Every structure is written in C-alpha cells, then in structure tokens.
A and B are shown apart, each in its own frame.
Chain A
Amino acid sequence: MNNLSEKIIVVENLTKQFGHFTAVKGINFHVNKGEIFGFLGANGAGKTTAMKMLIGISNPTNGRANVAGFDVHTQSEKVKQNIGYMSQKFSMYDDLTVKENITFFGGIYGLSRKQINSKTEVLIQTLQLGDIAQKKVGDLPLGWKQKLAFSVAMLHEPKIVFLDEPTGGVDPITRRQFWEMIYAEAHKGTTIFVTTHYMDEAEYCDRVSIMVDGVIEALDTPKNLKNQFQVSTMNEVFLKLARNIE
C-alpha cells in the first residue's frame, strides 16, 4: 500500500434507521485500494448493518457510500458485479460438490464456460483439492470450506472482497493459512474488507476501525491505536473502547 493510493470505498454520513432505532449513526471513513481493512466492533454495534449497505443489499436511510466507483444506493447492481462476498454463515451450497459449486458461482458471476473450466482447474490445483473435487461441500471440514469459499468469492476477480467473520471456529493452523491467502490477494492489489472477533487477526490489518453503538470510535493502524490507548495488544484496545472495561 502506498500513500498516493486511490480510495476504493468512500463512506459519508452513512446512516441506517429501523423504526426508532438507529443502527448506524452517520459514519464517515474511506478504504484505500489494496488495503486490508479490519472492520471491528462488539456484537450489535452495527457492523453487519453497515456492511449490508456497502455491498448493495440494504439502502441507507441517509448519507452515501461509493464502492469501487459506484454509488451503493443508485448503482447497487454495478457494486455487486465488482465485489466478492463471503460470510461465516453462508458461503456455498452444502449438497453440491466442490466442482458444482465453482461452476454454479462462476455462472452467477457471468463467466464463460471456458473461463469457468480453466478457473476450476487452477483452483483445485492451488487448494490441493484434487482428491475431493467430487465430494459434497457439506462433507468438508470447516477450514477447507472457508478456504474454498474465499476462492469462490474471488472467481470473477473483484476489486474488493468483503469477508464477514471468515475464520470463526476454524482451527489455528487453517486460520493462518486463510490469512496467507488474504495477504496474497492484497499483494495482487485486491482490497480486503474483513470483520473478525480474533484480535490477533486485527493485527494483520493495515488499518482497523472499531465501531461502538453505531459510531466509529477509532480508526487507525493497529500500531497507532495501541500507542493512542497506551496498551500492548489490540485486545486491550478493544476492551477499553467497546465497553470501557479496564
């Protein structure tokens, strides 16, 4: 990441209200191209609501956001074509095989049959899935599933990929392999927008924001945040901010 980099996500006064409840209260931030951006916060702080607006599946009540050059409200279909998304809860179809899932999502993303075939081959080789390509995704261990889901979210070579708690419950070695995949994509220039509850993973991000009650309370590099709060780990930063627990 260099300092002259372009802004690929720009968020201005983004707000979401549900009835009388304001889940996201006029947040402002930007993400640079090729950056690994950690979007942290306690459960219920408004992270998921904000993310849904950024990926174009929920309309803001107020304010605006531009993602990959498109307005999330007026050009949400364009936004969707230019981003990848994976979450812990839904990633792929359990009763389709590895190959079927790749073909299906390739089709959804509008790739040609030729492209799908060559992508499938590369993917199966790099993830070393040769032996299990004909197995149903539901039978794979969670860690494999998540690595595959990440690759599937990258099939159409999006400019940005949104990852919603991609490593929850995953074993420690696979969790690290997953981050090595993230690093590799970031090196190619893909922007990574990621949420996590593992505070060691917050340290792997270029910059981190911490959301509390619908507001971004802090946003900086992990190093600067630790200096600012005079603590030695991101876990302590989080505890101090998210509920003022000493």
Chain B
Amino acid sequence: MSISVQNISKSYKNIPALQNITLEVNEGELFGLIGPDGAGKTTLFRLLTTLLLPNEGSATVANYDILKQVKEIRNAVGYMPGKFSLYQDLTISENLAFFATIFGTTIEENYDLIEDIYVQIEPFKNRKAGALSGGMKQKLALCCALIHKPKVLFLDEPTTGVDPVSRKEFWEMLKRLKQKGITILVSTPYMDEATLCDRIALIQEGKILKIDTPQGIVDAYQKTIYEVASNQMHLLIEDLKHFPSYYSVFAFGEFVHYIDLNNFFDSETLRNYLKAKGHQSIILQKTTPTIEDIFMDL
C-alpha cells in the first residue's frame, strides 16, 4: 500500500476540516480526490506530507508513519501545493538546481523523469519564475516536485484556473509519470477529470462520500437521468422544477438533466406538460450519468 489513511480527523479551532477519513491508495495508482473548494482536500495533503498533525487517526505514506517518520516521508514524496510556492526571483534552472541540491541529488541524475516536461520550459530557463505564464509555472513546479524521484507525488489542484487545452496536456503528463511507477494522489474540482483517474474519492465538507473506480461509481448509480432541451432553455429549468414529480433539475451544457421521483415514470407525460407550457423542438431522452450528476445527488 502506498498511502494508507485510517480514521483521520482534523479541526481548526472548533471547525472540523476532515472527519474520520479512511482511504488506501495502491502502489502505482493514479488516485483522484474530487471535491469543491472547502471540501478538505488541502488539509488531507498537508497531513500526508507531514506539514500538519491530525487530531485523531493515523496514516502511512510509502510505508512511513506520518507522525513518527517525518524525515523519511519528506524524502519519499513530491508535493505540488495549490498555490505557486517556488522562488519567484530565481530563474527556472536556479529553482530546479536548488530543489535538486536540497534533496542531495542533481538534475542529471533523474533527468529522464522530468525530460518530457522540462523540454517545454527549457527555452525560458534563464527567465525568473515570477515572470512565467501560469502554464509554465505549473510545469516548473511539477519538475521541482519530481527532481528527487519521489515514490509518491501529491498534486493539490494542479489544474484549477487552467484552460481546457492545458488541462488535457497536464493529464497526459500524469499518465506518463504513472507508467514510470510513481503513485499519484491528485485533487481537482473539475468533475470531468475524475474519469482520467484509476480510482477516485468523492469528498465534500470533510467527509468522503464514495470511493471506487469512476466506472464503478457510474454503474452503481440507480436513478434514470433524462436529458432535456427545447427552444427556450432558460425557461425550461423553471418549468421542469414545477413538474409535480420532479426529483432534481440541473443545467448540463446544452441539455438540462432531469431526474423523476418515480423510477417508472412515463416520459410522455413530461413531454406533453412541456408542450402545454409552450416549449417547441423538445428533446427528451435517457442519458448516461456522469460523475458530476452523481456527485450532486450525494
């Protein structure tokens, strides 16, 4: 087991940030913590990287105890915090050399691990980190987190505020790192990124709601979801919310996702209701649930 968390709780003053968290991450696994701002993701990262102490519970990372083997853990993990934390007035190559030296290694020794990523920022290696674009900062931070060849990599919201193209590239990098045997724990508020992980934990308000493979979570979902569209999308949401047997109504891109209270409900009744409300070009069909649908129903 690469990461093992047993009944961890953490409060700040009287406000609970994590409540009785238990989870295990296998060696070489790409594990996602999926949840919004304030769910407790960052607190869990700080506990596992020995930057905070839990109030209750225990955990091991790379088989080291987070309470008793702090130094061992710090050598065995790479951590990319959500907030950019490198030295702004050092250049790209100075930052990288600095982190390599701290961990008693050299850039050359583990170059194969960072090569894919480093070549993309190498043309700017003499530029100060503070003057880099968001995407380049992110790549530099990842290189610095990898330079000592960690066994476990912690990435706290690496793609928040990042555009869809750069997000796609970032996940492709993670896949290649996973193939090199590194265990990765990554957090994200983007539900669509859940499907790119081996397994995920859905987390909200300090509690884990579910742990499974993304497909497993989708397969276990019982309710039927309909996608609905019409010529008046803004009014559609309001009208669906006034349908007597509605369970939930959420905008979902070009469709509205509708769930009925009754599992055996006849969608024709709903179609007629919408027609009577003046909607035209109505689309009403069953659709496959996404992780985001399920998250909202927890």
* A complexed with B: yes
Chain A residues engaging chain B, CB cutoff 8 angstroms: 41-45, 88, 141-143, 165, 168-174, 176, 179-180, 183, 186-187, 197-200, 203-204, 222-223, 233-235, 238-239, 242-243, 245
The reply to whether A245 and B168 form a contact with Cβ atoms under 8 Å apart is yes
Partner of B166, one of A42, A168, A172, A233: A42
Known: A42-B163, A143-B37. A187 touches B253 (CB 8 A): no
Give complex CA distance A88, B190 in Å. Answer: 16
The reply to whether A222 and B296 form a contact with Cβ atoms under 8 Å apart is no
Q: Quick check: is B52 within 8 A (CB to CB) of the other chain?
A: no
The reply to whether A141 and B37 form a contact with Cβ atoms under 8 Å apart is yes
List the one stretch of B53-61, B97-105, B154-162, B176-184 in contact with chain A. Answer: B154-162
Chain A residues with CB below 8 A from B165, complex form: 42, 238-239, 242-243, 245
The reply to whether B250 and A43 form a contact with Cβ atoms under 8 Å apart is no
The reply to whether A44 and B251 form a contact with Cβ atoms under 8 Å apart is no
Nearest A-chain residue to B291, judged by Cβ: A172
Chain A residues with CB below 8 A from B164, complex form: 197, 199, 235, 238-239, 242
The reply to whether B191 and A170 form a contact with Cβ atoms under 8 Å apart is no
Nearest A-chain residue to B159, judged by Cβ: A197
Q: Quick check: is B16 within 8 A (CB to CB) of the other chain?
A: no
The reply to whether B160 and A187 form a contact with Cβ atoms under 8 Å apart is no
Known: A41-B163, A199-B253. A172 touches B168 (CB 8 A): no
Partner of A172, one of B38, B234, B296: B296
Q: Quick check: is B174 within 8 A (CB to CB) of the other chain?
A: no
Known: A183-B234, A242-B165. A169 touches B157 (CB 8 A): yes
The reply to whether A180 and B237 form a contact with Cβ atoms under 8 Å apart is yes
B210 to chain A, nearest CB (A): 15
The reply to whether B253 and A197 form a contact with Cβ atoms under 8 Å apart is no
The reply to whether B168 and A239 form a contact with Cβ atoms under 8 Å apart is yes
Q: Quick check: is B111 within 8 A (CB to CB) of the other chain?
A: no
Known: A179-B251, A200-B252. A170 touches B37 (CB 8 A): yes
Q: Mark interface residues in B285-297 (1 if CB within 8 Å of A CB, else 0).
A: 0000000100110
Give complex CA distance A124, B219 in Å. Answer: 41
B36 to chain A, nearest CB (A): 3
Partner of A43, one of B38, B135, B237: B135
The reply to whether A169 and B253 form a contact with Cβ atoms under 8 Å apart is no
Nearest B-chain residue to A168, judged by Cβ: B161
Chain B residues engaging chain A, CB cutoff 8 angstroms: 35-39, 133-135, 157, 160-168, 189-191, 204, 233-234, 237, 250-254, 292, 295-296
Give complex CA distance A242, B169 in Å. Answer: 13
Give complex CA distance A204, B168 in Å. Answer: 22
The reply to whether A176 and B251 form a contact with Cβ atoms under 8 Å apart is yes
The reply to whether A233 and B296 form a contact with Cβ atoms under 8 Å apart is no
Chain B residues with CB below 8 A from A183, complex form: 234, 237
Chain B residues with CB below 8 A from A142, complex form: 36-38
A221 to chain B, nearest CB (A): 11
Known: A42-B163, A43-B163, A165-B161. A172 touches B292 (CB 8 A): yes
28 interchain pairs (CB within 8 A)?
A: A42-B166, A43-B133, A43-B134, A45-B163, A142-B36, A142-B37, A142-B38, A165-B161, A168-B189, A169-B36, A169-B37, A171-B35, A171-B37, A171-B189, A172-B36, A179-B251, A180-B251, A183-B237, A187-B234, A197-B161, A198-B190, A200-B252, A200-B253, A235-B164, A238-B164, A239-B168, A245-B165, A245-B168
| 7 nearest A-B residue pairs (beta carbon) | A171-B36, A200-B253, A142-B37, A203-B253, A42-B163, A169-B37, A203-B254
B267 to chain A, nearest CB (A): 22
Chain A residues with CB below 8 A from B189, complex form: 168-171
B254 to chain A, nearest CB (A): 5
Give complex CA distance A41, B168 in Å. Answer: 15
B219 to chain A, nearest CB (A): 20
Chain A residues with CB below 8 A from B204, complex form: 171
